[in-house]
C-alpha cells in the first residue's frame, strides 16, 4: 500500500499536467473571450463548475502541501476574473 506522500505526489503530478495542458489554456481563452465583451456559454459555465468542484475535492491535498498555496491562489484569481467579467458582460446585454 502507498503511503500518503507517495499518493499525494502522484495526484499533484496529475493535477499539474491537467492544469498545464487543459485548464490553463482554456482559462486563458475564456479570459480573452470575456475581456472582448462576450458572455460565457453553458459549456464555459460547466467547465468553471468542474474546476470549482475539483478544487473543493482537492482542498485536503492543498492543506497538506502549503507550498502550492500561491499557485492555487493565482489560479482562483484567474477563474474569479473570468466569472466576474462574464457576469458584467451578461448584465450589460
* CB distance 55 to 65 below 8 Å: no
15: Cβ contacts below 8 Å, ≥ 6 apart: 58
Range of the domain at 76: 4-92
DSSP state of 39: P
Distance between CA atoms of residues 44 and 82, nearest Å: 10
Q: What is the mean pLDDT of the chain?
A: 94
How many structural domains compose the chain? 1
- The pLDDT-based confidence of 85 (bands split at 50, 70, 90) is very high
Helices (H) and strands (E) in the chain, counts: 5, 0
The per-residue pLDDT for range 25-49, each reduced to its tens digit, is 999 999 999 999 999 999 999 999 9
Distance between CA atoms of residues 8 and 64, nearest Å: 9
pTM metric for this prediction: 0.88
pLDDT at 14: 95
Amino acid at each position: 500500500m502507498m503511503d500518503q506522500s507517495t499518493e499525494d505526489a502522484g495526484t499533484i503530478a496529475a493535477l499539474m499536467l491537467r492544469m498545464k495542458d487543459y485548464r490553463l489554456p482554456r482559462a486563458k481563452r475564456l479570459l480573452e473571450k470575456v475581456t472582448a465583451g462576450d458572455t460565457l456559454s453553458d459549456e464555459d459555465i460547466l467547465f468553471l463548475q468542474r474546476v470549482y468542484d475539483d478544487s473543493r475535492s482537492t482542498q485536503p491535498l492543498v492543506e497538506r502541501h502549503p507550498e502550492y498555496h500561491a499557485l492555487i491562489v493565482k489560479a482562483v484569481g484567474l477563474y474569479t476574473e473570468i466569472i466576474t467579467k462574464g457576469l458584467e458582460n451578461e448584465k450589460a446585454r
